[in-house]
Amino acid sequence: MTDQSAQELCQRCKKDEVTVNSRKEKFCSKCFQKFITLKQRKQMMSSDYYRDIFKMLYKDKVRTAQEAEQQNLDSRILVPLSFGSSSLVLLDILNDTLTEQSHQHKGKTGFSVDVLTCYRHEEDLVQIKENINSLRERYQVNKGKINFHVLSLDSFFNSCGNELQQIVLHYQEFSSMGADVTNFDTIDQLLKKCPNRNSSGDLLYFITRHVVKKYTLQHGYKAILWGHSMTRLADEIISLVVKGRGAQVATSLDMHSFDSVYGNKFKNSYPLKDILLDEVDAYLYIAGLDQLVIGYDARDSLLINKVKQDNSHKNIRLVRNMTINELARKYFNDIEGDYSNIISTVLRTGDKLAEPEFNQGGEGKEESGKCSLCLGNLHSDASKWLRSIAVIQGYPIENEEEREFYEKWSQSAVGIENAEYMKLKDSIWENGTYVPLCYGCIITMNGIKNRNVKWPKFNNTELNDVLNEYVLSEEDEDEIIKAH
Ligand SMILES: [Zn+2]
Ligand SMILES: [Zn+2]
């Protein structure tokens, strides 16, 4: 069978040997890369806003030569680089675009790219720095047009300008209050309070997303180019629905509105939204980027010549230990290939959704606003609804036996923890202020130890407090920072 496929020719150019099989078509490496690149570029040209960013602008009816030049210089975008396959491929295609423009326009380009990597542990930094250096070498021709930045998520809490609050959820009412705090938990401490990988994954995602967007706001980028593939977006849609966060699907896919939570200054773009994750992974191998992946296991399912040993027994997490996101991903991974149209149907349906109408009703309270934990728009009073469906009133102690059990319980670890929670709750209910939470976040908070988190306030002071970058120690990078 290998012999047969080795002789087979690409269906597009009819010249080169077939290396990839995707969407029932057989490609050579070159034609496959072109196929993927064009899909990404189509998204990068999907509106006037993005065209103005990515195109090389010259003098025309609406702008002078100087204005065009300035606009090219101002067209700066941010790529959050996790070192998974998608963000690496996205960045690599951007580098090719820059190289092409620079050839066509005498060294000039229509835009420049800043790359941001967020990390959790100091020990991760070694590998990240090493891989960034490899990328710098790879992108040598576009030196100055692609710049790398690294940020510690823990340092983010340090640089909140003391704008932190402790949010506490009421165990019976499902209402939530918050009060100022000056000390904070490290990311590790925060995640340890979560009952499962689902909630810790969510909290980590909220923080990382906020850090990326805050960085974007502070540095005036025109857009964030997220690496999400079609598969990843589809699993995001399914997971949001399952987690009771379905109302956020429309906002989370919106490429064409300015991000209203961050002052309408930039847009969020998903240039890989027409590309399946398996295709991204195939591109990764073909482009020789697989050595640069960190913490991700790229699949070679579309490659004619498999690059991996059979390691299907490796890295398999038990289904019961998977997060909802991982389950959705597993589902889509399993159907990619034969049923990939299901993935695009999920995405197309999600894309058609609109935000729910704001619910202004109920006790004269206006329910518009943002969730204090995930920053999602609020459409209804979720705590009120939860109160109406749940029975959570305690049962009074009636006899000596029950009192004895109660005493024993109060002295147990759970009892002591509960007493701590009651004390905290009472004090916040006395001194705090109302902070709204969405349904999904109430459910998350209800599982977190002592139902509280120390969380940024997301106010203007916090947004303007400058994030401390880790300075990368390459000579020219040092100079750039000093020059500011
Ligand atoms: Zn070909
Ligand atoms: Zn929320």
> DSSP characters for 224-247?
EE----HHHHHHHHHHHHHTT-GG
Q: Which two tokens mark 196?
A: 């499962």
Residue 430: helix, strand or coil by DSSP?
helix
Distances (CA, A) of 367 to 245, 370, 381, 389: 16, 9, 6, 19
Spatial distance between the Cα atoms of 75 and 65, rounded to a whole number of angstroms = 15
Strand partners, 322: none
The full set of domains in the chain, from first to last, is: 1-39 (no CATH), 40-165+186-360+460-483 (3.40.50.620)
Give the ligand at the shortest distance from the Cα of 20: 1
Give 60 Cα–ligand 2 centroid separation in angstroms. 46
Q: What is the predicted pLDDT for the residue at 356?
A: 74
Q: What is the predicted pLDDT for the residue at 392?
A: 65
Q: What is the predicted pLDDT for the residue at 11?
A: 96
Whether residue 1 has pLDDT greater than 80: no
DSSP letter at 117?
A: E
Q: What is the predicted pLDDT for the residue at 367?
A: 46
Give the ligand at the shortest distance from the Cα of 32: 1
Give 143 Cα–ligand 1 centroid separation in angstroms. 31
Q: What is the predicted pLDDT for the residue at 482?
A: 42
Strand partners, 20: 27, 303
Give the ligand at the shortest distance from the Cα of 248: 2
Give 290 Cα–ligand 1 centroid separation in angstroms. 22
Longest dimension (CA), the chain: 89
Q: What is the predicted pLDDT for the residue at 335?
A: 74
Contact 167, 372 (CB under 8 A): yes
- At residue 473 the predicted structure's pLDDT band, cuts being 50, 70 and 90, is low
Spatial distance between the Cα atoms of 350 and 370, rounded to a whole number of angstroms = 21
Q: How much of the chain exceeds pLDDT 70, in percent?
A: 90
Distances (CA, A) of 277 to 295, 298, 343, 377: 16, 9, 10, 29
Contact 113, 146 (CB under 8 A): yes
Q: What is the predicted pLDDT for the residue at 172?
A: 86
Give 339 Cα–ligand 2 centroid separation in angstroms. 33
**Beta-sheet pairing, 164-169 with 452-456:** antiparallel
Give 458 Cα–ligand 2 centroid separation in angstroms. 13
Rg (alpha carbons) of the chain, rounded to whole number: 25
Give 10 Cα–ligand 1 centroid separation in angstroms. 5
Contact 468, 159 (CB under 8 A): yes
Q: What is the mean pLDDT of residues 3-16?
A: 81
Inter-helix orientation angle 324-335/340-352, to 10° = 130
Whether residue 343 has pLDDT greater than 90: no
Give the ligand at the shortest distance from the Cα of 374: 2
Residue 411: helix, strand or coil by DSSP?
helix
Give 64 Cα–ligand 1 centroid separation in angstroms. 42
Give 370 Cα–ligand 2 centroid separation in angstroms. 8
Give the ligand at the shortest distance from the Cα of 33: 1
Give 29 Cα–ligand 1 centroid separation in angstroms. 7
Q: Which residues contact 320 (CB under 8 A, 6 or more apart)?
A: none
Give the ligand at the shortest distance from the Cα of 8: 1
Spatial distance between the Cα atoms of 388 and 173, rounded to a whole number of angstroms = 10
Give 373 Cα–ligand 2 centroid separation in angstroms. 5
Give 479 Cα–ligand 2 centroid separation in angstroms. 41
Give the ligand at the shortest distance from the Cα of 34: 1
Spatial distance between the Cα atoms of 318 and 322, rounded to a whole number of angstroms = 7
Whether residue 360 has pLDDT greater than 70: no
Spatial distance between the Cα atoms of 326 and 319, rounded to a whole number of angstroms = 9
What is the tens place of the pLDDT at every residue in 168-195? 999 888 999 999 998 888 999 999 999 9
Whether residue 310 has pLDDT greater than 70: no
Distances (CA, A) of 77 to 146, 223, 267, 315, 481: 10, 5, 10, 35, 18
Comparing 361 with 434, the larger pLDDT belongs to 434
